[in-house]
Amino acid sequence: MAGILDSVDQRTQLVGENRLEILMFRLAGRQLFAINVFKVQEVLQMPKLTLMPQRHRFVCGVVNLRGQTLPVIDLSQAIGMRPLVPDERSTIIVTEYNRSVQAFLVGSVDRILNLNWESIQPPPGGAGRQHYLTAITKVDEQIVEVIDVEKVLAEIVPMSTKVSEEKLADPLLEKARGREVLLVDDSSVALSQLRDTLSQLGVRLHMAGDGLKALNLLKKWADTGEVMTDKLLMIFTDAEMPEMDGYRLTSEIRSDPRLKDLYVVLHTSLSGSFNEAMVKKVGCDNFLSKFQPDKLVDVVRQRLELDEPR
């Protein structure tokens, strides 16, 4: 298990190539699930688990990992499957999402696989755990379900979308009212959070569930003769999405003369210096870790400042 993340250091080579690495695992049955390796810090056997009073029903307890106290979330129960029973032989996946670190209890870890985003498809509609998927793919003729971890975490610790009154009082933000903004994310939770926050600025919102849908929409508008920088104030895009990721979307925008001057913000739960470096590589204008309503508004303000006379 110690060597299962050996390939993570190679991840920068995938950026802009519309590729990703997934960590595959099982929960309470034979079905394979996955998350993006970018989110994974390590995979290990369960350290000593401490139970906490009044904990969320999906939280098994907490562990101490090198001086850091982490909640351990039963991922099986969180997506509507039967609970796992934690013991000292259990496997946990330590992840970072939205600037927080947590561990997920899983049944077993399978392997890491390098894929093309084009082989990742949106999940079928339906009830049950389908609500907790952002995508599906097929590996060795077996369906692999990619979990919407942001939705899981939002149900355990709901995030506020309210912008502070101090930020909203900024007179420059009045210039955003009525302007159009494109939101691109495969997580319904992330789109809802963006919508609820940006709606407080009075902007008109368009939404797309992956980079390919967003690119097709942009090209459709451009084909009608729209001046795209007049039409759209800015674009917020997630990094990891099925069919086309946010890095490739940005590269495609920059390569189209009609779209190349659009203001693109990478808005992602993938945080750290890695992303900041990759933003420069693919040509994004800004980068923001999810989810920070006031900082989201700051980014809108930075875009508006570009239109102000010098």
For residues 121 and 220, membership in a common domain is answered with no
Q: How far apart are CA 27 and CA 199, in angstroms?
A: 38
Residue 6 Cα distances to 94, 131, 295, angstroms: 15, 31, 34
For residues 261 and 198, membership in a common domain is answered with yes
Q: Considering its fold, how many domains does the chain have in total?
A: 2
Last residue in a domain, options 133, 155, 177: 155
Rounded CA Rg of the chain: 20
For residues 203 and 79, membership in a common domain is answered with no
Residue 73 belongs to a domain: yes
For residues 14 and 135, membership in a common domain is answered with yes
For residues 145 and 181, membership in a common domain is answered with no
The tens digit of pLDDT for each residue in 23-53 reads 999 998 899 999 988 789 999 999 999 988 8
Residue 271 has pLDDT above 60, yes or no: no
For residues 235 and 116, membership in a common domain is answered with no
For residues 28 and 80, membership in a common domain is answered with yes
Domain that holds residue 245: 165-305
For residues 88 and 179, membership in a common domain is answered with no
Provide φ and ψ at 185, rounded to 5°. -165, 140
Q: pLDDT higher for 1 or 107?
A: 107
Q: pLDDT higher for 257 or 7?
A: 257
Whichever domain contains 175, its CATH number is 3.40.50.2300
User: Is the Cβ–Cβ distance between 146 and 35 less than 8 Å?
Assistant: yes
For residues 89 and 20, membership in a common domain is answered with yes
For residues 146 and 183, membership in a common domain is answered with no
Residue 1 belongs to a domain: no
Task: Write the Ramachandran bin of 142: left for phi over 0, alpha for psi from -120 to 50, otherwise beta.
Answer: beta
Last residue in a domain, options 155, 179, 212: 155
The tens digit of pLDDT for each residue in 230-269 reads 999 999 999 888 888 898 899 999 999 999 999 999 988 7
For residues 120 and 213, membership in a common domain is answered with no
Residue 160 belongs to a domain: no
User: Is the Cβ–Cβ distance between 212 and 119 less than 8 Å?
Assistant: no
Residue 230 belongs to a domain: yes
Residue 30 belongs to a domain: yes
The band of 2, judged by pLDDT with boundaries at 50, 70 and 90, is very low
For residues 195 and 69, membership in a common domain is answered with no
CA atoms within 13 A on the CB side of 259: 24
Residue 198 has pLDDT above 70, yes or no: yes
Whichever domain contains 11, its CATH number is 2.40.50.180
| Torsion 64-66-69-71 (CA) sign | negative
Last residue in a domain, options 155, 176, 198: 155
Residue 246 belongs to a domain: yes
User: Is the Cβ–Cβ distance between 242 and 134 less than 8 Å?
Assistant: yes
